[in-house]
Amino acid sequence: MSLDNTPLSQDNDLLSLDNASLSLDNAPLSQDNDLLSLDNASLSQDNDPLSLDNDLLSLDNDLLSLDNAPLSQDNASLSQDNDLLSLDNASLSQDNDPPSLDYNTKSCNFFPPAIDNASFYRYYTFISIIRRYLTLNHRSDWLPGTRDGQLAMAKNWNVIIPAHAAAWGIPNATAQELAALTAAAETALNTAKNETTRTPVATAQCRASFDALVAAMRDIKKRYFYIPPLTEADLVSLGLKVPDPTLTPSGKPAAQVMVETYLVGRHELGIKIVYVTGSAADPANKGYRIWYSVVAPGETPPANPAELRKSFFTKRKKDVIAFDYGESGKTAHFAVQVENDGKKGEWGPLVSALIP
């Protein structure tokens, strides 16, 4: 029985040896695990500063949030101020807006309110009186300046023309047409001047009637009123002026002028007439005789205007003198006389200028 159990005992011993070897084999593993635990512990310690840093970062962010809170409040106040400013600008924009214009109705509100008819009529009458006054005082027409005067002249012609129509060569149809136009103009004028019958239509008809009458009178004068066959007495009886063929003498010019020179271009000088005495409005001052001479360097200049040799006549107060090419660099001497139909006034001062 003991012999049989011996192999089993040996086997158990071998098994113990194997377990021991396995324990030995597992020992390095246990050591490795211990080292791993140590490494994890170190890693955990390494991560602890990171966690601390994160806590500090979180604290800093909280403080930054606190710091930004007043800034947010300031921005809110600034936003409110901007809103108020926007409201003020809106009010200012409404105040400064130009008068509105309605493009659909083509009407705008910047015109003054409509005036009543009576005010407009007074204004129109005032303007008409001013225009009539200026016309009467600044006109050279042979026709009277008022409608009453024109009507009176036409009535006078209606009396004279039929009696002299054959002698003056005026057709009877022309005389009859003038009489009809005169009657129509008189009726239209009376209607327009009457307070009870004066209307815009009556005023327009009166204007048209006088336009036709004036056109007929101008045509008759242009065609038939000449000397001969008419005489000066006939013209006077018709209310016309007798032409005076004799010109009014203007006499010898009394003004004295001089020239001012200015540069124009190569070999050219501009001259301007300047009055020393007298006035350009004098009818005797018809034109200007400009005298000049060109003197080379070293030559003797003219002592007085009578020594000037060249001249030309002009009616302009500004003119240009073109010199020859070879006269460039020389000196031009000038003097002027006012001239009227060959009659010359006094010499002006002697002036000089260098020819460019």
Domain-by-domain residue ranges, the chain? 143-237, 256-354
Q: What is the pLDDT of residue 157?
A: 95
Q: Is 302 helix (H, G, I), strand (E, B) or coil?
A: coil
As its CATH architecture, domain 256-354 has Sandwich (2.60)
**Neighbour count for residue 101 (Cβ, 10 Å):** 12
pLDDT digits (tens, 9 = 90+) for 118-176: 777 777 777 877 766 555 544 568 899 899 999 999 999 999 999 999 999 999 999 99
User: How far is the first Cα of the chain from the last one, in angstroms, to the nearest whole number?
Assistant: 162
Task: Read off the pTM.
Answer: 0.38
- Pick the residue with more confidence: 103 or 148? 148
What DSSP character marks residue 197? T
Cα 81 to Cα 87: distance, rounded to the nearest angstrom: 10
Q: What is the DSSP letter of 310?
A: E
Return the biggest CA–CA distance within the chain.
Answer: 200
The whole-number pLDDT of residue 351 equals 92
Radius of gyration of the chain (CA): 60
pLDDT of residue 147: 93
Question: Are 256 and 285 spatial neighbours (Cβ–Cβ below 8 Å)?
Answer: no
Whether 67 shows a pLDDT value over 80: the answer reads no
Which two structure tokens, joined as six digits, stand for 59? 């604290």
Cβ pair 321, 337 in contact under 8 A: no
138 backbone dihedrals φ, ψ, rounded to 5°: -140, 50
* pLDDT confidence tier of residue 13, bands split at 50, 70 and 90: low
pLDDT at position 184 is 95
Give the mean pLDDT of the chain.
74
User: Cα(238)–Cα(193) distance, rounded to whole angstroms?
Assistant: 27
Give residue-wise pLDDT tens across range 200-210: 999 999 999 99
> Residue 100 and residue 106: Cα distance in Å, rounded?
11
- Residues whose CB falls within 8 Å of the CB of residue 236, separated by 6 or more in sequence, listed in order: 242
**pLDDT tens profile 274-313:** 999 988 888 888 889 999 999 999 999 999 998 998 999 9
pLDDT of residue 130: 74
